[in-house]
């Protein structure tokens, strides 16, 4: 199955928080979008791997994605090495996305920057003809594939975006998908320890940060992304 967009996050809920509204908008326009979570979030203070799997499934249904898979890398301890790169590039070649969206290049949680670089490296290696990979049960090598663009969403830190997507009209879908993670956020679970993202301040920030990015580009709501290489356009008039 070929995807238009493959969104990847180190933990379940990274994608929803980072680019949930962008995904919802592209799906509404008819694009096929898939999500891959690198870990099960098993080291999270609140919830468990099993509960977060259920929450991730519910969030995926809200967004309307075509598929969601989990690589089951070790939360907190996965590394950017050959083993992890090959496992991930198999998925890139399997789904042949035009665009990959992944974690912030710099952030509070150590897995976010690690995941960002791992995905970026796997996307590059996936285009090398001498790197052979095979799907289980198939003795024919996978075709090489390199996404046209890799975008990095913005997470805890207020990084300066290179691109802002107008997500006006889709922020409510994002919020529903985010708060499907009932164990993680303010007002959804009162029986577990507080964490930086379980505060009301953080819950409120999801909307006001999107509104502020929208303000900067003249729309109601926006989601920001950084890029690794220059974006090409046919004309200056193609830029909003």
Q: Which residues, in sequence order, are bridge partners of residue 152? A: 102, 226
pLDDT at res. 157: 96
pLDDT at res. 143: 97
- Name the token pair of 55: 């929450």
Within the chain, what is the greatest distance between any pair of CA atoms?
A: 55
Angle at 156 between CA 154 and CA 161, to 5 degrees: 25
For the chain, the domain total comes to: 1
Say how far apart CA 48 and CA 66 lie, in whole Å.
25
* Residue 75, domain CATH: 3.40.50.10320
Cα Rg of the chain, angstroms: 17
Flag whether the pTM goes above 0.75: yes
Angle at 58 between CA 42 and CA 149, to 5 degrees: 80
Say how far apart CA 31 and CA 117 lie, in whole Å.
25
Three-class DSSP category at 126: coil
pLDDT at res. 223: 98
Three-class DSSP category at 226: strand
Q: With a cut of 70, which residues of the chain have pLDDT below it?
A: 187-190
Residue 20: closest CA among 54, 49, 60, 51: 60
pLDDT at res. 188: 63
**Cα torsion angle, 135, 78, 47, 8, sign:** negative
Within 13 Å of residue 235, how many CA atoms lie on the same side as its CB?
Answer: 2
pLDDT at res. 232: 87
Say how far apart CA 25 and CA 30 lie, in whole Å.
9
Residue 202 lies in domain: 5-238
pLDDT at res. 149: 96
């Amino acid at each position: 199955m070929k995807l238009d967009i493959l969104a990847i996050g180190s933990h379940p809920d990274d994608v929803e928080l980072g680019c949930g509204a962008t995904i919802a908008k592209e799906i509404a326009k008819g694009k096929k979008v898939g999500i891959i979570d690198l870990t099960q979030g098993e080291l999270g203070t609140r919830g468990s791997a099993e509960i977060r799997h259920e929450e991730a499934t519910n969030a995926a249904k809200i967004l309307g994605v075509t598929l969601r898979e989990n690589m089951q890398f070790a939360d907190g301890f996965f590394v950017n090495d050959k083993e992890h790169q090959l496992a991930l590039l198999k998925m890139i070649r399997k789904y042949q996305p035009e665009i990959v969206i992944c974690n912030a290049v710099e952030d509070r949680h150590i897995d976010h920057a690690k995941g960002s670089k791992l995905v970026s490296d796997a996307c590059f290696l996936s285009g090398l003809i001498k790197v052979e990979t095979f799907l289980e049960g198939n003795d024919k090598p996978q075709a090489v594939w390199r996404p046209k663009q890799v975008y990095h969403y913005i997470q805890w830190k207020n990084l300066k975006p290179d691109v802002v997507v107008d997500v006006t009209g889709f922020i409510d879908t994002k919020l529903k998908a985010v708060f499907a993670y009932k164990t993680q956020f303010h007002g959804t679970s009162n029986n577990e320890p507080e964490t930086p993202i379980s505060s009301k301040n953080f819950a409120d920030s999801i909307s006001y940060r999107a509104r502020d990015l929208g303000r900067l580009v003249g729309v109601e709501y926006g989601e920001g992304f950084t890029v690794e290489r220059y974006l090409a356009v046919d004309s200056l008039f193609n830029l909003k």
